[in-house]
Copies of this chain bind each other. A is one copy, B any other.
């Protein structure tokens, strides 16, 4: 599990890749909320392939087709971990405490959280 840090723009493109599973450059251009030039998307996909290693690409007829190599969860976890390192010396507990401290969670959110903790205790 490598350190999959993605930038904003890369994340936007990846969200389309994850959603569709198998895309061409044009697919991504069409699916994006923003209007980005074809070449912009191509450059970004190239980076996601060669530099980040989060997609693979294969020639299919005239065009390349891109597929995800990692799940969105993988990336989320990596990035959350990185923030945890940067801000809380790697203490997940500290980050979680900081997050729940500023009551932005509904009552049902809290219920779900308690449930997760219970199942965590069950495993351990």
Which of B80, B88, B101 contacts A95 (CB under 8 A)?
A: B80
Q: Which of the 9-residue segments A39-47, A54-62, A111-119 touches chain B? A: A111-119
Which of B8, B97, B112 contacts A86 (CB under 8 A)?
A: B8
In the complex, A77→B94 CA distance in Å? 11
When A11-B86, A83-B79, A87-B80 are in contact, do A120 and B103 touch as well, CB less than 8 Å? Answer: yes
In the complex, what residues of B have CB within 8 A of residue A97's CB? 112-113, 116
Q: Measuring CB to CB, which residues of chain A are less than 8 angstroms from any residue of chain B?
A: 8, 11, 73, 75-77, 79-80, 83-84, 86-88, 91-93, 95-107, 109-110, 112-114, 116-117, 120-121, 123-124
